[in-house]
Amino acid sequence: MKEHFQGEIEELKSNLIRMASVVDDQVDKAITALETGNIELCKGVKARDLEVDAYDNLIQTQCENIIALFQPVAIDLRLVMSAIMINNNLERCGDIAVNISQRVKKAGSERSLIEESRIIEMARIAQSMLKNAIDSFIRNDTDIASQVIASDEKVDYLNKQLFNFLVAKMQSNPELIEACTHLVVMTRHIERMADHATNIAENLVFYVEAKIIAHRKKLDDKIGKN
């Protein structure tokens, strides 16, 4: 029974890593399309979305079966709980990659605006956060996870700067309103991807150290004000 259980756990981990690899490819293609203006890359992003959805369903089923059949406890239960959350966040990142690629198709020709806006910088930081979050799970490395969590503030800062920049552009040049609107939406998607990467890192910390650190900064700030 124990060998069967360990086999199921290893298969669960392997499927999460396979899913993460597909999502990583989607994100890279979407952001590279944004960076280079190569719209052809966007086709590959949408094409892999069904693969991500299939992994989503498979991993969800695996987690349910492990809980029902083996009733795991302690670190094994934390792994399954974390796997459910990581699976959900990876699936959302796949959706975000599709959404970014769709916006690139509509605004990707505005090369000077894109380069001046720093949206590529923001996107690459978010992509790096996702890569590192996945790596932290593969290695069970909470130090890498902590770096991911710390990087989220940089993305939030760039998100605010980009919004102000794009609003100013729309006010000064009405011809750029449509392109700027697409970029504003894109920044929201990128910011959400960084949030999902942070969630993955937080769940890794929960799995390894049995610590719940989600929303910690907000809760600490609230306590400090009271």
DSSP string, 71-119: ---HHHHHHHHHHHHHHHHHHHHHHHHHHHHHHHHHHTT-HHHHHHHTH
Pick the CATH number of 2-225 from 1.10.645.10, 1.20.58.220, 3.40.50.11540, 3.40.50.300: 1.20.58.220
More confident residue, 45 or 214: 45
In the block, residue with structure tokens 């459910």: 84
Predicted TM-score (pTM) of the model is 0.93
Report the first-to-last Cα separation within the chain, whole angstroms: 51
How far apart are alpha carbons 80 and 10 in whole angstroms? Answer: 11
Per-residue pLDDT averaged across 146-168, rounded?
Answer: 97
Q: Residue 2: its pLDDT value, please?
A: 82
pLDDT at 33 over 80: yes
Q: What number of CA atoms fall less than 13 Å from residue 141's CA on the CB side? A: 11
pLDDT grade for 106, boundaries at 50, 70 and 90: very high
Q: How many beta carbons lie within 10 A of that of residue 69, not counting itself?
A: 12
More confident residue, 226 or 188: 188
pLDDT at 5 over 60: yes
Q: Residue 108: its pLDDT value, please?
A: 85
Q: Residue 214: its pLDDT value, please?
A: 82
Contact 22, 94 (CB under 8 A): yes
Q: What number of CA atoms fall less than 13 Å from residue 210's CA on the CB side? A: 5
Nearest 10 degrees: Cα torsion 26, 117, 202, 135: 50
Find all residues with CB under 8 Å of 164, minimum gap 6, and list them. none
Contact 101, 107 (CB under 8 A): no
Q: Residue 223: its pLDDT value, please?
A: 47
Q: Which two tokens stand for residue 160?
A: 């605010």
Q: Residue 225: its pLDDT value, please?
A: 57
Contact 145, 205 (CB under 8 A): yes
Contact 64, 56 (CB under 8 A): no
